Structure 1
Amino acid sequence: MTSEDDPIWETLLGLSRFASLSTMAELGCADHLADGPLTVAELAGRCGAHAPSLRRVLRHLASFGIVERTAEDAFVLTRHGARLRGGVPGSQRAAVRMLGEHAFWTALGSVPETVRRGRSVFVERFGPLYNYLAANPDSGRIFDDYMVARSLAVIEGLPRCYDFSGVGTLIDVAGGRGHMLASVLRAHPEMRGVLFDLPSVVPVARECLSAEGVAERTRFVEGDFFDAVPEGGDVYLLASVIHNWDDADATRVLGSVRRAMGSRARLLVLEYVLPDDDSPHLGKDVDIRMLALFGEGTERTHSEYGTLLGKAGLAVSRVVDLPGQAALIEAVPV
């Protein structure tokens, strides 16, 4: 049987390939192979792995170009496999580790039950995602690294793709560690920023923005965006926030921002904006993860965002494409 032109078979093969990638990422094989080829026994010793089992995984990885055999029982990284090293530009190790993390893997495998019952199995078994990550700091660190790696192209592309000239104050609502805000502030030395997030998040953001060299131009505000957000911004940013919530809660968040906005302020919603037709889009794959992890969180189409923003007293003025099929929805008060 061949996978050529067969999306079902190709997907089935993909599960096995991911299992091998996950093994390589979790054991840190790419880091150990960074300086050149190793025999299976040498690599197993460094990884703390069972050599015969590792040999089978490496043989599989070699079949789709992640490692390459250099001798009868030795392997070396390919350029693709090098992206599974940690701490290197373009690393995908955290992404692979996060999707292979026990609770995440359970969530994806439980999508049929989530769809049957209309409730996320992940939430029922492990609790809300961010509570789970807080209670499991190792997973939380992997998740943070994954989010930064996943967003790197968008972080770097945001100040290039959107014209922030003339903006005095940018308020990053639920700004997390502040990477988006830092990218814009570095590109616009005259701008000042406000990072608004939960009390547990702000100290980490302060450290990150200090490391980025922009903390002196940033005001840090603690709070809950369901209650209120800081006033006085020329531009408000909601990056990867709205997709975490169903329409009712998303409207509450947008309503809080709208109440804080002046008549000439702008809101930027950074999300995947799905096409209204059935054409392929990365956001549709991400949406299934949202279904698994949040249940009610969802990616939305252009028209769905228009409707959602309208309920909060905002109107879409334009949509700007960003790297990685992400998009920036600009909205203004009505």
Structure 2
Amino acid sequence: MTDPASPIWDTLRSSWRASAMRTMAELRVADHLADGPLTVTELATRCEAHAPSLGRLMRAMASVGLVETVGEDRYALTGTGALLRSDLPSSLRTSVLFNTDPTLAIALAGLTSTVRTGRSHWVETKGVLYDYMAGDPELLALFNEYMTVRAVPMAAGVAEQYDFAEVRTLVDVGGGRGHLTAAILRANPEMRATLFELAQVLPAAQAAFESWGLADRCEFVAGDFFASVPAGADAYLLGSVVHNWDDNDALRVLGTVRVAVPQHGRVLLVEMVLPDDDEPHFGKDLDIRMLSIFGQGRERSRSEYTVLLEKAGLELTRVIPIPFNASVVEARPV
């Protein structure tokens, strides 16, 4: 029989493991093991670490499959552990460092206050996350790399699994540097796009599109999606945008999009869609992080998206799963 206490202890253990994994990333253990196995003593020299303490860390990381024991006090990197190497395009090292950053841990520590008051303890004490990161270049760099790591597999999933055959013009609303749009344009050579973003974001986006050889197929327009978005496109893409806002502000964004989209058009949300039942889902855990840091930002279930879209004059027509526990939510004008 399953021990009823196991879920509690497993949850507690996950925080200890996350701290150990962060230390492994900070010490660049995966980088040092990239060329082959090392003894703890050899590894400690390269990491500038205390060998006995490092040995205990390696024992713990071996138990979760990031390294494996290949001799007495000798460890080799596993395929999973290799994802913490800093020199690989698929590296998750910055994702680990950002999501375990001690500064952001303050937000989770204040979760009780957030739940009691309905106001993010982080926002109340530190301000809006994006404003805070503007004053912390190192944290901002980690965040940007983390978002890129998330965006690439999601972008590939959208481009590969959604049928854009009838879409000739696309507006990417709040698209950041445009990873989603770039992937879609590569997969659909007849399509043209508009990247709609804040003015301060567009220079980096334009530079990225030029480096990708896609600048001639994309127009860059500055603006505020709470006010208006470019009108008349076949499709409007909002990638990880709606989840940043409470229902009232999400409706404001969707309202400006509804005004712009023609009757034959469609609106595509790229978001995590939570199960309506008790089934575990990555997005349910992420939603706690959203609650603690943003307060009003949230992940939503299919039924919640259905209601939200209906209020905006849109009908949810399909939900298509893509990588990273996300989905394409397709909606059409009513």
* TM-score normalised by length of structure 2: 0.93
Q: Which amino acid aligns with 1:7?
A: P
State how far apart, in whole Å, the 2-side matches of 1:72 and 1:78 are: 17
Residue equivalent to 2:223: 223
State how far apart, in whole Å, the 2-side matches of 1:260 and 1:249 are: 17
Alpha-carbon shift at residue 64 of structure 1 (Å): 2.3
Alpha-carbon shift at residue 200 of structure 1 (Å): 1.7
Structure 2 counterparts to residues 9-20 of structure 1, below 5 A? 9-20=9-20
State how far apart, in whole Å, the 1-side matches of 2:98 and 2:3 are: 27
State how far apart, in whole Å, the 2-side matches of 1:87 and 1:202 are: 27
The superposition leaves residues 177-202 of structure 1 with CA deviations (integer Å, 9 ceiling, x where unpaired) of: 11100000000111111111111211
The answer to whether the 8 A contact 1:170-1:191 is kept is yes
Q: Which amino acid aligns with 1:243?
A: H
Residue equivalent to 1:85: 85
Secondary structure of the residue aligned to 1:298 is: coil
State how far apart, in whole Å, the 2-side matches of 1:5 and 1:165 are: 52
The superposition leaves residues 205-227 of structure 1 with CA deviations (integer Å, 9 ceiling, x where unpaired) of: 11222222211111111111111
The superposition leaves residues 89-141 of structure 1 with CA deviations (integer Å, 9 ceiling, x where unpaired) of: 43221221111112222222322222122211221232112112222121112
Residue equivalent to 1:43: 43
Secondary structure of the residue aligned to 2:181 is: helix
The answer to whether the 8 A contact 1:29-1:43 is kept is yes
Residue equivalent to 2:176: 176
Structure 2 counterparts to residues 184-333 of structure 1, below 5 A? 184-333=184-333
* TM-score normalised by length of structure 1: 0.93
Secondary structure of the residue aligned to 2:68 is: strand
Residue equivalent to 1:29: 29
Q: Which amino acid aligns with 2:269?
A: V
Cα distance change of structure 1 residues 263 and 147 upon mapping to structure 2, 3 Å threshold: same
Of 31-40 and 10-19, deviating more is 31-40
State how far apart, in whole Å, the 1-side matches of 2:10 and 2:213 are: 46
Alpha-carbon shift at residue 87 of structure 1 (Å): 3.7
State how far apart, in whole Å, the 2-side matches of 1:3 and 1:91 are: 36
Name structure 2 gaps, 5 residues minimum: none
Confirm or deny that 1:125 pairs with 2:146: no
State how far apart, in whole Å, the 2-side matches of 1:4 and 1:57 are: 29
Cα distance change of structure 1 residues 323 and 5 upon mapping to structure 2, 3 Å threshold: farther
Alpha-carbon shift at residue 7 of structure 1 (Å): 0.9
Of 71-80 and 212-221, deviating more is 71-80
State how far apart, in whole Å, the 2-side matches of 1:120 and 1:45 are: 43
The superposition leaves residues 243-290 of structure 1 with CA deviations (integer Å, 9 ceiling, x where unpaired) of: 110011000111111112222221101111112222222211111111
Alpha-carbon shift at residue 71 of structure 1 (Å): 4.0
Of 101-110 and 215-224, deviating more is 101-110
The answer to whether the 8 A contact 1:3-1:10 is kept is no
State how far apart, in whole Å, the 2-side matches of 1:122 and 1:47 are: 34
Q: CA RMSD in A?
A: 1.9
Secondary structure of the residue aligned to 1:324 is: coil
Q: In the comparison of the two structures, how many residue pairs are matched?
A: 333
Percent identity over the alignment?
A: 52
Q: Which amino acid aligns with 1:67?
A: V
Cα distance change of structure 1 residues 224 and 87 upon mapping to structure 2, 3 Å threshold: farther
Q: Which amino acid aligns with 1:324?
A: F
Alpha-carbon shift at residue 321 of structure 1 (Å): 2.0
Residue equivalent to 1:142: 142
The answer to whether the 8 A contact 1:103-1:122 is kept is no
